[in-house]
Amino acid sequence: MSNTINFGIDLGTTNSLIAKFNKGTVEVFKNPVGFKETLPSVVAFRNDRILVGEKGRVYLEKDPKSTIGQFKRKMGTTESYRIKSLDQSKTPIELSAFVLKELKTFIHTGETPEAVVITIPASFDMVQSNATKEAGHQAGFKQVVLLQEPIAASLAYANKTTGNELNNSQWIVYDLGGGTFDVALVRIAEGELKVIDHEGDNFLGGADFDALIVERIVVPAIEKKGQFSDILNQLKSGSGRLNSKWYVLLASAEEAKKELSTKSAAEIDVEVEDDAGEVISALISVTRSEFEAVIKEAVDATAEMLRTILTRNSLQPSDLKFVLMVGGSTYIPLVRNRIKELLGIPVNTDIDPTNAIVIGAAYYAGNKPLELSEASATVAPVCPLKLKVSYNKASQESDEMFSAKVDGDVNGLSYRIVRDDGGYDSGLKQLSTRISEDLPLQSDAYNSFTLRILDAHNNPLAVESIQIAQGKYSVAGQMLPEDLSLVKDNLQDGDTRLEQVFARNTILPAKKKMTVDVSKTLVHGTEDEIRIMVVEGSSTNHSSSNKSVGVLLVSARNLKRDLLRGTEIDLTFEVSESRAVTVHAYVNPSGPEFSDVFTPKDRRVDVKALAEEIGMLEERIEQEKAEALEHENYEVVDVLTKLAGPVQELQGEAVLLTLDDVTDHKYKLEDRKRKIAQELHQATSTKRIERLRAEYVEVRDEVSETVKESGNDMEKRQLLEIVNHEHVFLNTNSTQRLAEHISKLRSLEFQILMRSPDFLIGWFQSLTAKRETFNDQVQAKNLIEAGKQHIQGEDFDRLLEVNKRLFSLLPQREQESKDMRHFTGIS
Amino acid sequence: MDIKQVSTTEQLKPLLSALCQLYELERKVQKRSEFESLRRNVEKMKAAFEELGYRIEDPDGQSYNETRVDLEASIAGSSTEDLAVTEVIKPIIRYVMRDSSGEYTKVIQRGVVVVESRIKN
């Protein structure tokens, strides 16, 4: 265990932060909700909840009787705040303790510090300092060490830079934050840092600059574009017609202000209704010089305070080493330049102005010894309570009641429930013997909550996990009995493969979108077509073994222009509760839309596709038989020989069917085809799986090498994702899954190779070797010339373009590999 | 990707900014006549981001109260009861994780909104 304090807190007027010193470095902790380092120093008492920070800030302006901010200004006074909703008063010390306790929740390391360094303004007197110490004790810290903010900022600087001789010198710490301004003269003499003098304005900061942008730049520009009688009042008044726009404009102004720190102009997008009901949309440009003009007066006032310090201490600007800039508003170039210009002192912007004070506090804490006994620091809190919780673990509602019975002494304890996705926080609530809370649920998801019982110092005594599944995870809805899959061409093997659209047990209704590539060019006006085939059955089967749900035909006859190979088609699949499957195909934004509905009662069998499938099946049986004979696998040969007769018979019958056959004969044929296909796949699956497993391993090793050499982070992640799951699909006995992953690996490799100069040059050379076969010789010649130049000039992006265009000039048969065959026309 | 890494890295900023722009773009074009021709592109971009694990949630019209921590709100008007989101400055961005047991999400950018009371004075 460390024997130094290590934890530092910047307990600010507007915002507070917490950091930890660990082996020479400092970590500034982030709010587990929203991930910001800063916690607004605001406490709200809403109904029976205590909300600290961001949530409290929301109510600061609109519920001021129960929400308190800026209480740091009243530290050490006898004043207290009357809280309307509680009907009692809270002192600034108590309110500060709430903020300190909330900051403890930022610590993700699981530690519960009992000692801390807290920073205070240079202006704090003894009473105010003691009040801060007391707040620390009330928050559960046994040892509280105070540190002046300008000293903390100076320490952050001293620890960040090396070789800067600060000894026996003096400088100014200029702290312009979100709502307050402080300036201090700091001197180091005989190794001791001291604040010599200070000045400040409690009502000046970045938030005032945002308002100035809106009032002086944006509003006048809006006024010119529409009819407004009293726009500023309408915006700023709580009852004003445009009050909601005021907050939108403030947020935009803040963004613009940040942008103007690095750019010379920023734009603010405005949409507001004028008095005549006309919507005014405008993009208002704010230049840096306009912004600087509106804040100049305020910035000059800060320089004046700095000058006062110099005069009071009989110092010349040349006596100062630098002005150390602290606080988010010192990012503004005018602030830096104006101080330099008016006072002639170099401005030091070496430290991060937003967290410099807390970093300095942590450095100080890292060297400050603990004065606590080991025993007191290590005793873990013991939970004196027994909890009995009750709630529905599955819900269809948007919220669910959680209740718990608490046995034991609940006096002085509180509880808090947070949703682990960062969307809900009950706030701190006083614990009684019964807890009852409505928990809001994310739809269609597992909702995981954590209930914490906390002692008076916010240290957890008990933690309980709450899990509620909302929506689709409940079994109340109608479920899909089998997988629904889309049949796609597997061009490499001249076969088809299945891509799962909906998994078995999906709760209906369900909807899914997919994008597929057209794998052959459709010439408009011809009889050619693309088949969007949906089949029912395990998606690990071969498509011919599954039951056809329907085929949506994208016919070239209905196309106004050619549909080129490689074009994307967007498919939308919807399954209603009654299991009717609707398929929509959008060819391109301006092209035709194809759509059809397949209902379970009205089963569709496309006669043309059926005949083709039977043909493919027969061919496949012959191929497999020949292969089995070659390997002397007579058992398989035997099974396949028995299948040959029925499939030939089937083919004969299919030929006799007319395209518009209305009898149920086609369904019978389809059933028979399916049975034969199942037998074929069963007989040959062992061989195929072994072959695919070996192929997968080979491809994986090859692709891993390529990714290692030339892949980017995203590609490395994609590969890792496949490899991490390989134990699943290598053991499933599913040829479909193996083929799918091999195909994914190959696309990944291709994607990388497309960036590789060697590959592109090699491709170019193999294309030029086929120059005689190009459809357009003149164009090919020009492209080959251009390609050579791109190789010489090492312009590989352009070489890729040339390769693509040359490839498109190859005759169709050359573009396709010899085994390539289209059944559906999509891949 | 570990969500802890996601939430603590500054690297996400440009991505979050792109998602906000996409949201803004969708909102702007929705009001225009050419939206139908752009809808597909916008939806495909959203789907691509979702594939990467990033989901945009539009809180417009949703109820608001003090327990919601996925929104940074400013309250317009004078009442603080029965609040609902009326202006969205930034949408909520969630990181989506899926495994065999289902879907889990984590808020990685809180929505920035203006809320107003539904109760009319």
Which of B43, B86, B105 faces A244 most closely, judged by CB atoms?
B86
Q: Six-digit token pair at A813?
A: 């048969």
A744 C-beta neighbours (distance < 10 Å), count: 16
B7 and chain A in contact, CB less than 8 A: yes
In sign, the C-alpha dihedral spanning B86, B92, B96, B101 is negative
**Residue A421, min C-alpha distance to chain B (Å):** 4
**Residue B44, min C-alpha distance to chain A (Å):** 9
Q: Six-digit token pair at B73?
A: 């709100």
Q: Six-digit token pair at A572?
A: 């939308």
Q: Looking at beta carbons, which residues of chain A come within 8 Å of B66?
A: 44, 46, 49, 51, 55, 58-59, 427
Which of A72-76, A486-490, A734-738, B54-58 comes out lowest in average pLDDT? A734-738
Q: Chain B residue with minimal CA distance to A423?
A: B70
Average pLDDT over residues A728-740: 77
Q: Do A61 and B104 touch (CB under 8 A)?
A: no
pLDDT in tens, A370-404: 886 544 444 445 567 888 888 887 777 889 999 99
Q: Do B74 and A250 touch (CB under 8 A)?
A: yes
d(CA A610, CA B78): 69
Give the range with max mean pLDDT: A121-135, A251-265, A362-376.
Answer: A251-265
**Residue A437, min C-alpha distance to chain B (Å):** 11
Q: Chain A residue with minimal CA distance to B43?
A: A513
**CA-based nearest residue to A668, from A608, A607, A587, A754:** A607
Q: Which helix (H) or strand (E) holds A727?
A: helix A726-730
Q: Six-digit token pair at A101?
A: 């306790």
Name the residue with higher pLDDT: A603 or A444: A444
Q: Which helix (H) or strand (E) holds A639?
A: helix A634-656
Which of B36, B47, B78 faces A62 most closely, judged by CB atoms?
B78
- Virtual CA dihedral for B11, B14, B20, B26, nearest 10 degrees? -130
Q: Do B86 and A442 touch (CB under 8 A)?
A: no
B27 and chain A in contact, CB less than 8 A: no
Average pLDDT over residues A478-489: 80
Which of B7, B87, B104 faces A446 most closely, judged by CB atoms?
B104
Which of B66, B75, B105 faces A442 most closely, judged by CB atoms?
B105
pLDDT in tens, A140-199: 999 999 998 999 999 888 877 665 567 778 999 999 988 789 999 998 877 678 888 888
Q: Do A448 and B104 touch (CB under 8 A)?
A: yes
With cut-offs at 50, 70 and 90, classify the pLDDT of residue B8.
very low
At residue B101, the pLDDT reads: 58
Which of A34, A250, A586 faces B110 most closely, judged by CB atoms?
A34
d(CA A574, CA A582): 5
**Residue A762, min C-alpha distance to chain B (Å):** 32
Q: Do B107 and A440 touch (CB under 8 A)?
A: no
Q: Looking at beta carbons, which residues of chain A come within 8 Å of B78?
A: 62, 238-239
Cβ burial A7-17 (10 Å sphere, 16+ → b, else e): bbbbbbbbbbb
B45 and chain A in contact, CB less than 8 A: no
The answer on pLDDT for A795 being more than 50 is: yes
Name the residue with higher pLDDT: A585 or A101: A101
Residues sharing a CB contact under 8 Å with residue A446, sequence separation 6 or more, in sequence order: A467, A468, A469, A470, A473, B101, B102, B103, B104
ipTM of the complex: 0.75
The answer on pLDDT for A590 being more than 60 is: no
- Number of CB pairs < 8 Å for A and B? 116
**Residue A469, min C-alpha distance to chain B (Å):** 9
Which of A33, A63, A250 faces B69 most closely, judged by CB atoms?
A33
Which of B37, B41, B102 faces A446 most closely, judged by CB atoms?
B102
Average pLDDT over residues A554-564: 79
Q: Looking at beta carbons, which residues of chain B come within 8 Å of A570?
A: 40, 44
Which of A38-47, A103-112, A377-386, A387-396 comes out lowest in average pLDDT? A377-386
Q: Looking at beta carbons, which residues of chain B come within 8 Å of A420?
A: 106
Enumerate domains of chain A plus CATH numbers: 7-153+355-366 (3.30.420.40), 166-347 (3.30.420.40), 380-473 (2.60.40.10), 484-604 (2.60.34.10), 605-728 (no CATH), 756-827 (no CATH)
B12 and chain A in contact, CB less than 8 A: no
Which of B43, B72, B77 faces A243 most closely, judged by CB atoms?
B77
B116 and chain A in contact, CB less than 8 A: yes
Cβ burial A309-348 (10 Å sphere, 16+ → b, else e): bbeeeebebeebbbbbbbbbbbbbebbbebbbebbebebb
Q: Is A440 helix (H, G, I), strand (E, B) or coil?
A: strand
B119 and chain A in contact, CB less than 8 A: no
Q: Looking at beta carbons, which residues of chain A come within 8 Å of B94?
A: 421
Q: Do B114 and A248 touch (CB under 8 A)?
A: yes
Residue with tokens 């006072």: A343
Q: For residues A308 and A283, is the Cβ–Cβ distance under 8 A?
A: no
With cut-offs at 50, 70 and 90, classify the pLDDT of residue A475.
very low
Q: Do B69 and A246 touch (CB under 8 A)?
A: no
Residue of B67, B68, B112 to mutate when probing chain A, most A C-beta within 10 A: B67
Strands (E), A202-343: 265-273, 279-287, 323-326
Q: Do A589 and B40 touch (CB under 8 A)?
A: yes
Strands (E), A78-207: 81-83, 88-90, 115-120, 143-148, 169-176, 181-189, 192-201
In sign, the C-alpha dihedral spanning A208, A212, A213, A219 is positive
pLDDT in tens, A623-636: 888 888 888 888 88
**CA-based nearest residue to A51, from A70, A31, A68:** A68
B43 and chain A in contact, CB less than 8 A: yes
B80 and chain A in contact, CB less than 8 A: yes
Residue of A442, A474, A511, A729 to mutate when probing chain B, most B C-beta within 10 A: A442
The answer on pLDDT for A407 being more than 70 is: yes
**Residue A162, min C-alpha distance to chain B (Å):** 26
The answer on pLDDT for B34 being more than 90 is: no
pLDDT in tens, B80-107: 889 999 999 999 999 988 765 567 888 9
At residue A602, the pLDDT reads: 52
* Domain ranges within chain B, ordered by starting residue: 3-117
d(CA A400, CA A133): 42
Q: Looking at beta carbons, which residues of chain B come within 8 Å of A239?
A: 77-78, 121
The answer on pLDDT for B3 being more than 60 is: no
Q: Do A244 and B40 touch (CB under 8 A)?
A: no
A162 C-beta neighbours (distance < 10 Å), count: 6
One-letter identity of residue A392: N
Q: Chain A residue with minimal CA distance to B111?
A: A34
At residue A371, the pLDDT reads: 80
Which of B68, B78, B105 faces A239 most closely, judged by CB atoms?
B78
Q: Do B110 and A590 touch (CB under 8 A)?
A: no
d(CA A743, CA A15): 53
**Residue A9, min C-alpha distance to chain B (Å):** 20
